Amino acid sequence: MLKVQHISKRRKFRKVLQDCSFVIETGKIIGIIGENGSGKTTLLKVLAGILRANQGTINLENDRSQQISYSPDQSYFYDYFSIEELIEFYQSQYPDFNQERANALIEFFTLNRKEKIKYLSKGQLGRVKIVVTIAREAPFLVLDEPLAGLDPLVKEKIIKGIIQFIDLESQSLIITTHKLLEVEPILDEVIVMKNGTIIEQKQVEQIREETTIQRWLEQLY
Amino acid sequence: MTQQFQRDKPIYLQVVDTIIQEIVSGIRQSGEKLPSVREYAIEVGVNPNTIQRVYRELDQRQITITKRGQGTFVTEDSRLITQVREELKKQYVDQFVEDMEALGFSKEEIILSLKEGEHDA
């Protein structure tokens, strides 16, 4: 279980996160949504231990690298690596990196292991990010905007890859998006952010019982 | 193929309806093993937890039986399947008649047009 309590974060004199609290149970897929600038990426960075919160607590050790497998929205690979070398690099860095799962993912996404990162298309790079992030057996997988800017077929393939390769017995997935409808069928719960704070957390099926996702969002904003 | 879902109804209930339709229409035979939770989740493009809930719901309605370590199977109770089939028929017909009557058609007109439809087909 991940327990985030009263997290606040200032940058210079601006508050980018304000009193964010939520709980994520093991085995759940959680979507964090919000407009650009609502604080999603900052929140993930605080979760991943890349930024330090000014206030609040998270029930994880300070070294998050063993507990969270994090994929930023920016590209972050050495572009002279081939996919194969990137996999080896990840394996050397993370004891929980599952080589078998990585290979299965590469096959699933029909990637060429010998291809260099710098020659990959945007869609291929998007898939490589998913491979290295979800090949780890860390309890929390965190993906920042994994579908942004990709074409519909690649999106669908990535979503299927996520469903197939995550082990929900022992892992949870946190995924941010500003297009909720794209990922909504795979979510257990959605967390809504606005102006640096969390304004709602709710089970997706519960929303569907009461109304539609679109109407629910309109009412929140 | 990824299934498209209605926006205003829980996904698990929509998948339950789909599976029941498949069983009632014979696409899925009695005693047949359903796909594993993960296989089915990938097939329809939804969260595995949702499919888990679907199988739980089907088990509760006794339309399927989940055997530990073996999987989920369509019931072999053909009386139950027939009964569900009749219930569904009644439900859809009632709804149809209600809609038609709201449009001002009489039962006779509905029957007549159904018979005409048969000739077209």
Q: What is the ipTM, given to two decimal places? A: 0.85
Q: What is the mean pLDDT of residues A88-110?
A: 95
Of all residues in chain A, the percent with pLDDT exceeding 90 is 82
Of all residues in chain A, the percent with pLDDT exceeding 70 is 100
d(CA B16, CA A78): 47
Longest dimension (CA), chain A: 51
> 3-state class of B109 per DSSP?
helix
Q: Which residues in chain B are closer than 8 Å to A186, comparing Cβ atoms? A: 45-47
pLDDT, one tens digit per residue, over B11-46 is 999 999 999 999 999 999 999 999 999 999 999 999
Task: Judge whether residue A221 has pLDDT over 70.
Answer: yes
Give the domains, in start order, of chain A with CATH numbers. 2-220 (3.40.50.300)
What pLDDT was estimated at residue B121?
53
Closest CA to A38 of A60, A12, A20: A20
- Closest CA in chain A for residue B43: A160
What pLDDT was estimated at residue A190?
96
The residues spanned by each domain of chain B are 11-76, 79-120
Task: Judge whether residue A192 has pLDDT over 90.
Answer: yes
User: Which has more pLDDT, A69 or A13?
Assistant: A69
Nearest CB among A27, A185, A208 relative to B46 is that of A185
Distance (Å) from the C-alpha of residue B41 to the closest C-alpha of chain A? Answer: 7
Q: Which residues in chain A are closer than 8 Å to B45, comparing Cβ atoms? A: 156, 159-160, 163, 185-186
Please judge whether B8 and A214 are an interchain contact, meaning their C-beta atoms are less than 8 angstroms apart.
no
Q: Which of B3, B6, B8, B56 to mutate to test the interface with A (most CBs of A within 10 A)?
A: B8
Q: Which residues in chain A are closer than 8 Å to B18, comparing Cβ atoms? A: none
Has domain B11-76 been given CATH number 1.10.10.10?
Answer: yes
Q: How many residues does chain B have?
A: 121
What pLDDT was estimated at residue A174?
97
Q: Which residues pair with A58 in a beta bridge?
A: A4
Task: Judge whether residue A31 has pLDDT over 60.
Answer: yes
What pLDDT was estimated at residue B1?
46
pLDDT, one tens digit per residue, over B51-110 is 999 999 999 999 999 999 899 999 999 999 999 999 999 999 999 999 999 999 999 999
- Closest CA in chain B for residue A161: B42
The interface residues of chain A toward chain B in range 106-165, judged by CB-CB distance below 8 A, are 156, 159-160, 163-164
The interface residues of chain B toward chain A in range 4-23, judged by CB-CB distance below 8 A, are 5, 7-12
What pLDDT was estimated at residue A40?
94
Any A CB within 8 A of B45 CB: yes
What pLDDT was estimated at residue A47?
94
Q: Which residues in chain A are closer than 8 Å to B11, comparing Cβ atoms? A: 185, 204-205, 208
What pLDDT was estimated at residue A165?
95
Element (H, E) at B120: helix B107-120
Confidence of residue A220 (pLDDT cuts 50, 70, 90): confident
What pLDDT was estimated at residue A10?
93
